[in-house]
Structure 1
Amino acid sequence: MESILIQGESISLVYSKEEYIDYIIEAESDPHNAPYVFQWTKAQHIEAMENPDILHITIVENESFEKVGYAIVAGAKSPHKAIELMRVVISKKSHGYGRESLNLIKKLAFEILDAHRLWLDVKEYNYSAINLYKSEGFKKEGLLRECILYNGNFDSLVVMSILKKEYKQPSIEDLIFEP
């Protein structure tokens, strides 16, 4: 049995294992995910799994223990109490696993790791993710203009964050998307 880091209603977050890497690389290179996710090598994933400041997490269904995604969270040992959500990839779409994963990651950051701030960056054209983050209390902090070279084009990244004091109290402004 896997050791569960945190459990939700339909999914759980477990520590990733080296034996999961083929699944993880397949999930991030899937055509539905690849335009939005940095592609890592097996060695990079293993290095992240071994780094005590990084939580490399696999998302599994509670009943079947089927892998449905993964996430990478950095800053677990940050003296500034700032946690970075480096990546969330969902391979089994349209089941609400993205939202539930995000809620479990917020709970992990604020209730278990005692973070003050949870932040992320997201490609500017990933409207679905931006809307999800806004609906879950994240605020847009800024734009890193044309900072990533992807398929011969420069992409911009939107930086978003949520503070511990905002964690359970989203305002109406947080629910309105502004492109």
Structure 2
Amino acid sequence: MFLKSDSVTLRKTNKQDVDFVCSLEAMEENSKYIILWSKEKHEKALANTDVLHLIVEDRKRSQPVGYLIIAGLENPNLSIELVRITINEKGKGYGKESFNLIKDWVFRKFQAHRLWLDVKVNNVRAFKLYQKQGFVVEGTLRDCLKTENGFESLHIMSILKNEYEELTKEGTYCSTSLMS
């Protein structure tokens, strides 16, 4: 499956991409905001029919700039989880454009009812991006993650299909191209 816009392409991750994914996770600016996966866990996710593991590429350079993972493809409640989005080159719009593509796919092609995620409370940059993308806070899991520095909390955020459709009507959303 491929999803593309003017600036990015989302393509399925392959086994050769896993080293890039792990190196991106290990970067200090990323690792403090995510729960790290082992190389083996990423490789297992590639074969899992409930998970979609995608590489984000800059279309002009045909070069990977990030990755994202969604899960819940087999969820009978049509609730999809954005497990992770990690972008190497921040501030260039790759995250925003990747969100536009994945929301379009989740709600229009896959026909899900709900897209949700969790975000560490201290990840202000991501939190603001999610809000701009139409996600609302459903609640906070207080001190749910034990880290070497103590405990951290997570916000649970979601956007529903009807909210997404309302945003697209208002013109706050760019259309994208879907290819399978």
Q: TM-score, normalised by structure 1?
A: 0.90
Match of 2:36 in 1: 39
Q: Which of 141, 152, 162 matches 1:155? A: 152
Match of 1:174 in 2: none
Match of 1:132 in 2: 129
Q: Which of 36, 55, 67 matches 1:58? A: 55
The one-letter code matched in structure 2 to 1:89 is: T
Between the aligned partners of 1:80 and 1:33, the Cα distance in structure 2 is: 31
Between the aligned partners of 2:125 and 2:166, the Cα distance in structure 1 is: 22
Q: Which of 90, 101, 119 matches 2:98? A: 101
Match of 1:48 in 2: 45
Q: Give the Å deviation of 1:18.
A: 0.5
The one-letter code matched in structure 2 to 1:84 is: E
Match of 1:141 in 2: 138
Identity %: 40
Greater length-normalized contact order (CA 8 Å, ≥ 6 residues apart)? 2
4+ runs deviating over 6 angstroms: none
Structure 2, unaligned stretches of length 5 or more? 168-180
The one-letter code matched in structure 2 to 1:100 is: E
SS at match of 1:63: coil
Match of 1:164 in 2: 161
Stretch moving more, 145-154 or 23-32 = 145-154
Q: Which of 2, 5, 9 matches 1:5? A: 2
Between the aligned partners of 1:148 and 1:54, the Cα distance in structure 2 is: 23
Q: Give the Å deviation of 1:90.
A: 0.2
Match of 2:70 in 1: 73
